[in-house]
Amino acid sequence: MTVSCKGYSKEKLERMKARYTGKILSIETKKTDMPIIEVAPEGVVEFLQSIISEEGFEYNFLSDLTAYDFNPPVSKVPDYDLGSCRAEGDAKRFVVVYHLLSLQNKDRIRVIVRANDGEEVPSVTSIWKSADWLEREVFDLYGVKFANHPNLRRIMLDDRWVGHPLRKDYHIKKYQRWEDSLEMTSVGFEE
């Protein structure tokens, strides 16, 4: 009893594979609720641009854009997270996830792009305006840089923040202070 993407037509995936040979690195259908299509970073904009209007697919709606830290440096991961983190060989560190929705065909796919720390992923702001803030959020919390983004700066956190908190090697209790932060004084009955 695990998650599966039954109900998704295999024939459609075969067609997609045939149409985008060279662009699609792999299609994963096990242990996921919708097919995961891996694309190389340099081809992602072209692929997403093309699949918007490709007949039979029409994935024209960017439902969500996010990322996760797939292969963190395990020696630096805090204890509380060691259970779920493990070394994944030489797999790239970050995975950027695009959730696409087809309004016409009413189905969804998940497109992923892998990137190492410091590597740039092309921005999709030229295709969807919503990608602007979403990519800023990924940059803020994971430090994945997006090439050709018009305004890539922090969105959730203060501009002076050091580090990227959703990385697995960032401790959840770590806090940061600045010169103008108010001094924490004891308030109460004691002097």
Partner 1 sequence: MLQKTDAEAKKQTARSDEFDEHDEIFEDSKINVNIGPQHPAMHGTLRVMCEVNGEIIEKSECELGYLHRAIEKIGEVRTYHQFIPFTDRLNYCSALQNNIAYVTSVEKLMGVELPKRNVWIRTMCCEIARIIDHLICVGINAFDLGAMTFFLYGFHQRERAYEFIEKLCGSRLTTTYTRVGGLMSDLPDGFLRDLSDWLDEFSEVIDEMDRLLTGNRIWVDRTKGIGYLSQEDALSYSMTGPCLRASNVNFDIRRDMPYLAYDQVEFDVPIAKGGDVFDRYLIRMTEIRESVRILRQVCQKMPGGPIWADDKRIRIPDKDRVHNSMESMIHHFKFFMEGFDCPEGEAYCPMEGPNGEVGFYIKSKGGPKAYRLRIRAPSFFMFQTVNEAARGCSIADLIAIIGSVNIIAGELDR
Residues making contact with partner 1 (CB under 8 A): 1-4, 31-34, 36, 60-64, 66, 68-69, 80-81, 83-86, 97, 99, 103, 106-108, 110, 128-130, 132-134, 137, 141, 155-158, 165-166, 172
| Nearer CB in complex with partner 1: 10/31 | 31
Residues 119 and 143: their CA atoms lie apart, in Å, by 10
| Nearer CB in complex with partner 1: 20/170 | 170
CB of 124: closest distance to partner 1 in angstroms? 11
Q: Which of helix, strand or coil describes residue 165?
A: coil
| Nearer CB in complex with partner 1: 19/127 | 127
CB of 67: closest distance to partner 1 in angstroms? 8
Handedness of CA 154, 44, 98, 96 (dihedral sign): negative
Q: For residue 12, what is the DSSP state?
A: H
| Nearer CB in complex with partner 1: 178/189 | 178
CB of 136: closest distance to partner 1 in angstroms? 10
